[in-house]
Amino acid sequence: MKKRSRSVADRETAMGDVFEVYRNAKGMWCSAVRYKDGRGTRVCCTGSPLVWVARDVYFNIVQAAQTDALDGKNPYVSAEYARSYKMR
């Protein structure tokens, strides 16, 4: 895995994960969700020349998906699991 530069914007999501925005080796803005239980990260935005796309647009998508999971609207994640994950 290539080394990432330092994160420029960290935000906490609805389930307690950390949303990071950083620049990759090609100078593009990327975003990832770092799981709070330490089991890894999930890339959200693979590369954008605009920081606000990686920071705001993708954060809103992640926030909406996690809020839906907590409300029981996600068919792939039960609301019970989402709430137990948030409480860890």
| pLDDT recorded at residue 75 | 87
Kindly give the parts of the chain with pLDDT less than 50. 1
| pLDDT recorded at residue 1 | 46
| pLDDT recorded at residue 41 | 87
| pLDDT recorded at residue 43 | 86
pTM for this prediction? 0.81
| pLDDT recorded at residue 2 | 52
In terms of Cα–Cα distance, which of 30, 20, 26, 33 is closest to 51?
30
DSSP state of 5: P
d(CA 28, CA 47): 5
Domain extent listing, the chain: 9-87
